[in-house]
Structure 1
Amino acid sequence: MRLIVHDLAEQDFNTWLGGFSRDTDEIIGEQETIRHCVGCFGCWVRTPGTCVLNDSYKHMGERLAAYEEYVFITRNVYGGYSPFVSNVLNRTLPYVLPYFLTKNGETHHQQRYERQIRFTVHFYGEGMSEAERETARSLVRANALNLDASGYKVSFHDTLNSLKEVQ
């Protein structure tokens, strides 16, 4: 099962990505209301593993741990995720612990859950520069490493039509 986060209009999602199954995949779209992470670290200190913001995203860490794959379908914004997709990623902070360890000479968070996920990101948008693509690759690699993903994949799509290949 996959947790799929996208910023497409519902009609575009249904048109271009109809192959994803709402029966076996959890799909989060931009139409849903999400509060912004305020960086209070309450999910680590006050209510470990649970965001202190009381909305449907307060258990994102636990929800993410239940899936085999975390999939983003996002507009490329200067080599990064769209604001909505970035916000959902921020709300998964409870997925990791506030303690650190060193991996490959870099400092990263310890994992709260034993299960590893795969991390897949599909960037779309016309006219992505090579610098934006390289920034995006680096960002996904860093996020995958911090999420302790078992693997990651980055794809670029110049048109929504090319998203039909995504499943």
Structure 2
Amino acid sequence: MKALVLSDVAYMNATHQMIIQTLTDYLASYGMTVETETVSQETITDCIGCFGCWTKTPGECAIQDDLFVINRKMMLSDFVVYLCPIVYGQCAANMKTAIDRWLPNMLPFFITRRDGSTMHPARYESYPSQLMIGYSDHFDEAEAQLFSDITLKHREGVQVVLWHDSVDGLLSALDKIELKRVEGRL
């Protein structure tokens, strides 16, 4: 089984390193091969809304940058972790770009959720299980809650963990997550 951990070069600090080490050790203990990838403003491009991923190259972004390669690695993984620095209640800009560029993995139609909101349906039969870990050196509970609420609203099948300077808390949260592909959930 494969796991991919994606993080932002701009926020590689002691907290980030502790989370990476904890994740790598934990996932390896379950026999997973763990690969880490990073994004930076210099190596990725924002989605330009060209819809090429739906019309010209279905399932693949038309922009040929690091996220083109990372997206492919994500889809070949069983478990994907986004390490998301929390900035004003949102994930940092580079991680937001990475999340936006997941769009090729969805179909260009809309379906209505139970709460009345809309979303794009799944393109594929299965996807990697996804975890977003929100962290900050200056953790603010209100910002963390906003991060969690927004993430859960936009991704139906994602798990959210908020880092509270506790390896035990992260390990406990990981114990509750399925570390395998999931059927048709985004």
Give the paired residue count.
160
The answer for unaligned runs of 5 or more in structure 2 is 175-186
Instruction: Give the equivalent residue in structure 1 for 2:7.
Output: 6
Residue 121 (str. 1) matches residue 132 (str. 2): yes
Sequence identity (%): 27
Q: TM-score, normalised by structure 1?
A: 0.78
Instruction: Give the equivalent residue in structure 1 for 2:21.
Output: 18
- Counterparts of 1:17-166 in structure 2, within 5 Å, are 17-19=20-22, 20=24, 24-30=33-39, 33-58=43-68, 60-104=70-114, 105-145=116-156, 149=157, 151-157=158-164, 159=165, 162=166, 165=170
2-side partners of 1:59 and 1:48: how far apart? 15
Kindly provide the CA deviation profile for residues 26-71 of structure 1, in whole angstroms up to 9, marking residues without a partner as x. 3111357112221211111121111111223225554333222221
Q: Is the 8 A contact 2:132 2:161 kept in 1?
A: yes
1-side partners of 2:118 and 2:19: how far apart? 38
Is the deviation greater in 88-97 or in 15-24? Answer: 15-24
Higher helix share: 2
Kindly provide the CA deviation profile for residues 91-111 of structure 1, in whole angstroms up to 9, marking residues without a partner as x. 111011111112213211111
2-side partners of 1:163 and 1:80: how far apart? 22
SS in 1 for 2:155: helix
The answer for unaligned runs of 5 or more in structure 1 is none
Q: TM-score, normalised by structure 2?
A: 0.71
Q: Is the 8 A contact 1:123 1:156 kept in 2?
A: yes
RMSD (Å) for aligned C-alpha atoms: 2.8
Q: Is the 8 A contact 1:74 1:122 kept in 2?
A: yes
Kindly provide the CA deviation profile for residues 101-134 of structure 1, in whole angstroms up to 9, marking residues without a partner as x. 1221321111111114322122221333332122
- Aligned pair in 2 of structure 1 residues 89, 62: CA closer, same or farther (>3 Å)? same
- Aligned pair in 2 of structure 1 residues 88, 112: CA closer, same or farther (>3 Å)? same
